[in-house]
A = this chain, B = another copy of it.
Amino acid sequence: MVPTTTEYERLLRDSALRVTRPRLAVLAAVDAHPHADTDSVIAAVRAELGEVSHQAVYDVLRALTGAGLLRRIQPSGSVARYESRVGDNHHHVVCRSCGTVADVDCAVGEVPCLTASDDQGFEIDEAEVIYWGLCPDCSTAPPS
């Protein structure tokens, strides 16, 4: 279930990325905290490695996202969040009240899982779906 460091190394090498401690730590952090924002990732990485520059984490997140090892999501009104679950084209449900993000399986699985009624001449390669609503906690507890 939990990938080993060796597994992370293989992922990096397969993407032609150098294996460095910050990169391994970021991969482990995002695996451990899905939908974590950059600050949380920085905190998790520092908890494991000690002082690491925020710039390094930004660079790593961008490199890993570009390589397809991580996926970046950014619901309106939220900072960037990252997850390691890639390749299955799943979607997300976001709480309007507290911002919590949860995964929702895509019924189709392959991209693009939806075809536009009129694609306006665009070459569409992905349909990103964000469900908006209230999480179980916020829907039972009325807004204060």
Q: Is A104 in contact with B123, judged by CB distance below 8 angstroms?
A: no
Residues of B within 8 A of A119 (CB): 93, 104, 131, 133
Kindly identify which residue among B76, B91, B129 contacts A73, using a CB–CB cutoff of 8 Å: B76
With A72-B76, A76-B73, A93-B119 already in contact, the answer to whether A131 and B136 are too (CB < 8 A) is no
A95: interface (CB < 8 Å): yes
Q: Is A129 in contact with B104, judged by CB distance below 8 angstroms?
A: no
Residues of B within 8 A of A4 (CB): none
How many copies of this chain does one complex carry? 2
A127: interface (CB < 8 Å): yes
CB neighbors of B among A109-144 (8 A): 112, 114, 116-136, 139
Residues of B within 8 A of A139 (CB): 122-123
Residues of B within 8 A of A49 (CB): none
Residues of B within 8 A of A117 (CB): 104-107
Q: Is B121 in contact with A135, judged by CB distance below 8 angstroms?
A: yes
Report the nearest B residue to A128, measured CB to CB: B130
Residues of B within 8 A of A93 (CB): 116, 119-120, 122, 124
Kindly identify which residue among B95, B104, B112, B128 contacts A116, using a CB–CB cutoff of 8 Å: B104
6 CB < 8 A contacts A-B: A74-B77, A93-B116, A122-B134, A122-B135, A122-B136, A122-B139
